[in-house]
A and B are shown apart, each in its own frame.
Chain A
């Protein structure tokens, strides 16, 4: 009955972990390198599409840029700058005024009684944002001393019909 039982053969069915670890390390490396750990200045939103937009160059043209987001839905739209929400336009005005009047930002050669900042504003407004909010934001930016406004849009996906 137990002729074969005496043959004490131990079958090794262990899982080889080394290739799995290699692959997981590679995956980890990929996700770590592609993760954006910088401070998020661009809010998640659906931007207008335009094929004529100039791609944002990595090298800036010698001036600082601040991203101003206009986010919301239906009638409720508000401004977000570097993660700070400004549901009240008055607070936004104060914040933008302070930003425009930062030391070293004043443009050279401003006429007496006028102030213009060298800083550019990247205006990111959602597709559905009513124009009145964008217009009001531009008016506030202008009155704060910003004149370099860059309207941000996405390039349409060439694969999309």
Chain B
């Protein structure tokens, strides 16, 4: 019988102790190398294919929903502004985005983009948070304001 421990039962008994050692080692290896994967997703943000930035014409009204992010170095926090309104919470910002977008939709311009204008030192997390709020309001076009051209300065 396979389960018998008595070597007299079977003349070709298997030495299980080395096998157990090896399995233990393999178990420890796989346990240590195991990592639970976090659930990741993505925002598709296709860049414009027409190169260069078009300058807005003077008489054209600005059609955008702009959220500005500033970095306060003193207390290392991000300040958010919607127009001249200082944002204190995500809920407030989402409501402002919702109202602004509803206004553009009423005017027949649902393609109006939400533009995120972030300062250089603003953490990426804060930028993605605003993208997320805009996505909650089903805004399709989300753009990042062109900042400094890092490649042009050399």
Task: State A146–B51 Cα separation when bound (angstroms).
Answer: 12
Name the residue on B nearest A46 (C-beta): B125
Stretch binding the partner chain, chosen from B38-46, B60-68, B95-103:
B38-46
17 residue pairs from A and B, CB less than 8 Å apart: A14-B5, A16-B3, A24-B27, A25-B23, A50-B41, A51-B136, A53-B43, A129-B123, A130-B122, A131-B69, A131-B118, A131-B119, A131-B121, A131-B127, A138-B47, A153-B42, A155-B41
- Give me the interface of A with B, judged by CB distance under 8 Å: 14, 16-18, 20-21, 24-25, 27-28, 31-32, 34-36, 42, 47-56, 70, 114, 116, 122, 125-132, 134-136, 138-143, 146-155
Is there an interface contact between B124 and A24, defined as CB atoms closer than 8 Å?
no
B66-91 with Cβ < 8 A to chain A: 69
Contacts of B19 in A (CB 8 A): 21
State whether the Cβ of B37 lies closer than 8 Å to any Cβ in chain A: yes
Of A25, A52, A134, A150, which is within 8 A of B135 by CB? A52
Contacts of B46 in A (CB 8 A): 147-149
- Give me the interface of B with A, judged by CB distance under 8 Å: 2-3, 5, 16-17, 19-20, 23-24, 26-27, 30-31, 33-35, 37-49, 51, 69, 118-125, 127-129, 131-132, 135-136, 144, 147-151
Is there an interface contact between B39 and A128, defined as CB atoms closer than 8 Å?
no
Name the residue on B nearest A155 (C-beta): B39
Name the residue on B nearest A50 (C-beta): B132
Is there an interface contact between B27 and A152, defined as CB atoms closer than 8 Å?
no
Contacts of A34 in B (CB 8 A): 30, 34
Chain A interface mostly: mixed
Contacts of A140 in B (CB 8 A): 151
Is there an interface contact between A122 and B34, defined as CB atoms closer than 8 Å?
no
Is there an interface contact between B41 and A127, defined as CB atoms closer than 8 Å?
no
Of A25, A54, A134, which is within 8 A of B43 by CB? A54
Is there an interface contact between A128 and B124, defined as CB atoms closer than 8 Å?
yes
Of B5, B33, B121, B122, which is within 8 A of A17 by CB? B5
Contacts of B118 in A (CB 8 A): 131
Write the nearest CB–CB distance from B7 to chain A, whole angstroms: 11
Write the nearest CB–CB distance from A35 to chain B, whole angstroms: 5
| Given known contacts A56-B40, A132-B120, A150-B45, A35 and B150 CB-to-CB distance under 8 angstroms | no
Of B23, B38, B49, B131, which is within 8 A of A24 by CB? B23
Contacts of A146 in B (CB 8 A): 47
Contacts of B136 in A (CB 8 A): 51-52
Name the residue on B nearest A17 (C-beta): B16
Contacts of B47 in A (CB 8 A): 138, 141-142, 146-149
Is there an interface contact between B132 and A52, defined as CB atoms closer than 8 Å?
yes
